[in-house]
Amino acid sequence: MKVLVTGAAGFIGYHVARRLAESKRCEVLGVDVIGDYYDPALKGARLEQLAQLEKFRFVQGDFAEAEKFSALVAQFKPHYVVHLGAQPGVRYSMENPGAYQHSNLDGFTSVLEACRRTPPKHLVFASSSSVYGSGAKAPYREDDNTDQPVSFYGATKKANEVMAHSYAHVHGLNVTGLRFFTVYGPWGRPDMAPTIFARAICEGKPLKLFNHGKNLRDFTFVDDIVDGVVKVLLYPPAERPTPSMRIFNLGHHRPVETLLFVRMLEELLRKKAEIELLPPQPGDMFETCADLTRVQAAIGFAPKVPLEEGLKRFVEWFRGYYNL
């Protein structure tokens, strides 16, 4: 079967594309613009790994360029589409909202239009726990109110869910949105907490923890996320007249304080951190925790990798990739 993966040079996109291509049952076409939000060399290194796989091909391009992307989809004719390309980052969305409009709003419109013109069996796209926002109470459930995201990034992901619902309703697309919860692991982005924390510890630099390190995060190992993505992908929503748009949480359901997360990294790296405790940061959520009842009932999803094991694997990769 043919699967198109956007954001294939990104963190989660790389892992999903690799899992699908290694199965040898899938012909995988990866698409990525390879932007400079973070070091393109890391994206290039991921692509070098993927290039070794017989069932993977790559096209560099911007999925927000609607006509070009629609032509690519029409030519490839994927059975399944996994849309993981996006402009990430909560804090950066306050500095450069235009990047989020381009990738997350215009870009997602382009993906939906391409799938309308050349319908796949199933379109799965990345949403985020950031949609829950103000007033949300843990554990977060998919039917909770998500009308008050506290970051522009979260607002764009909420918009993606509403846009997808309209295309499912009007055009009959089978669509599933996945709300990811604090994904970590090997090949992770350098702007994410695990790499920021590990680098600061290794280099002996001050490590800033907002909300005095008391924020709770539902850290989810990337292999568990990939398991969820692939299982969901292969089980589209039921055909009409039943609704053809679904939302699932994908998380670990065991939130951990960021300060404890740092202490675990210290032990693995065998070096103490110079911690600087700071007040809460605007746009941050104090706690994330996924209720997994719905996704467990639908596909039997259950995270398998405990934080201790996941962090060990992350540190092994971190030391090797950054030569530390």
Instruction: Specify the pLDDT at position 243.
Output: 54
Among the residue ranges 11-25, 186-200, 258-272, 275-289, the one predicted with the least confidence is 275-289
Residue 203 belongs to a domain: no
Mean of the pLDDT values across residues 234-254? 85
Residue 157 belongs to a domain: yes
Residue 79 belongs to a domain: yes
Residue 315 belongs to a domain: no
Residue 37 belongs to a domain: yes
Number of domains in the chain: 1
Cis omega before residue 119 (within 30°)?
no
- Give the domain extent around 300: 2-184+220-253+289-304
Residue 274 belongs to a domain: no
Write down the pTM of the prediction: 0.96
Annotation says 321 is catalytic: no
Q: Grade residue 91 by pLDDT with cuts at 50, 70 and 90.
A: confident
Mean of the pLDDT values across residues 189-193? 95
Here the CATH number for the domain that contains residue 89 is: 3.40.50.720
Q: What is the mean pLDDT of the chain?
A: 95
Instruction: Specify the pLDDT at position 239.
Output: 67
Instruction: Specify the pLDDT at position 59.
Output: 98
Instruction: Specify the pLDDT at position 99.
Output: 97
Q: Identify the active-site residue in 153, 167, 184, 321.
A: 153
